[in-house]
Amino acid sequence: MLLPALVWAVTALIWVGHGAESHQTAAAPARRDDNADFDWGSIRCPAANSQETFPTPSYRTEKGLFLVCTELVINATPQEVYHALLDFQTYPAWNSFVRNVALPAEVVKTPDDVYVGLEMRFTTAGIIPLLNTTSDEIVTVMKGSFDDGGSPGEGEAEPATTEGRYLMAAWRYDDGLHGTASKSEHPNILVNRGDGTTLYISYETFFVGPGTLLLLPLKDTLQKQYTQQGLDLKAYVEKAA
Ligand SMILES: *[C@@H]1O[C@H](CO)[C@@H](O)[C@H](O)[C@H]1NC(C)=O
């Protein structure tokens, strides 16, 4: 009984500590070649009690500690969902948990001004009861068109199926310590179902690291938030579509 309480307390302190830290500026990562040898569009959430984790675009070979994942059909095109996902300024209006997304001054309007390497600070409620938590995130993948890698180039044949036809946006957590404490990344994959609707897969892999171990007790809470955020996004996009 005491140990879980202790782990919880330390975890809480670390998350609260995030909020108190001064903003650390990490070097922007180079643009990722997100399609070269990995078909992100084929990823589907594992069964509920699976211990499986997935690689992410920034961390292809790291060992995963745990995964949260949600998957659902949204009655809107992949482009419409992509637009909403990168429209960080509207998050507080539709997302049950995100209270604010702080952006650098040069980002005047989202999604227009969003770029790979953009640093954001999410303020989120509901991870620890009655407290806001913050996390610094860096945009790592923006694949906003089907021709942006992965799909046929000029003169090549269209694939016979819609398999592999997807858009993708991802961001990774910035621990301010070059990932030595905690690495995680959140890919959002938008598979074109070919009928004006989208299969939305949203996951985050938390990789082995001292900071991540302390997040393990929060796995169920994080999974519930991912599930709810998927439903929030669906409701928001379908209302606009
Ligand atoms: C959480 O953050 C929001 C937005 O920044 C703020 O309005 C609210 O007062 C905060 N709540 C707590 C408990 O700090």
CATH number at residue 214: 3.30.530.20
Count how many residues are written for the chain: 241
Q: For residue 84, what are the domain limits?
A: 2-240
Q: How many helices (H) and strands (E) does the chain have?
A: 5, 7
**pLDDT band, very low/low/confident/very high, at 16 (cuts 50, 70, 90):** very low
User: Cα of 132 to ligand 1 centre, how many Å?
Assistant: 6
pLDDT tens-digit profile of 119-174? 999 999 988 878 899 999 999 999 999 875 544 444 444 554 444 599 999 999 99
Pocket test for ligand 1, best of 89, 132, 133 (most atoms within 8 A of CB): 132
- How many structural domains compose the chain? 1
User: Cα of 3 to ligand 1 centre, how many Å?
Assistant: 30
**Nearest CA residue ID for atom 4, ligand 1:** 99
Per-residue confidence (pLDDT) for residue 178, from 0 to 100: 87
**Nearest CA residue ID for atom 10, ligand 1:** 132
Atom number of ligand 1 nearest to Cα 92: 4
Cα–Cα distances (Å) from 104 to 89, 95, 217, in that order, read: 12, 21, 32
Cα–Cα distances (Å) from 155 to 35, 95, 144, 158, 232, in that order, read: 19, 42, 21, 9, 40
Per-residue confidence (pLDDT) for residue 2, from 0 to 100: 41
Classified as helix, coil or strand, 71 is strand
Q: Residue 232 and residue 241: Cα distance in Å, rounded? A: 14
Measured from CB, residues less than 6 Å from any atom of ligand 1 are: 99-100, 123, 125, 132
Classified as helix, coil or strand, 9 is helix
Per-residue confidence (pLDDT) for residue 208, from 0 to 100: 94
- 105 close to 119: Cβ distance less than 8 angstroms: no
Question: If you average pLDDT over residues 88-103, what whole number do you get?
Answer: 97
- 215 close to 67: Cβ distance less than 8 angstroms: no
**Best CA proximity match to 210, nearest among 186, 175, 241, 237:** 175
Residue entry with tokens 């046929």 = 152
Run of H or E including 10: helix 2-20
* R_g of the chain computed on alpha carbons: 18
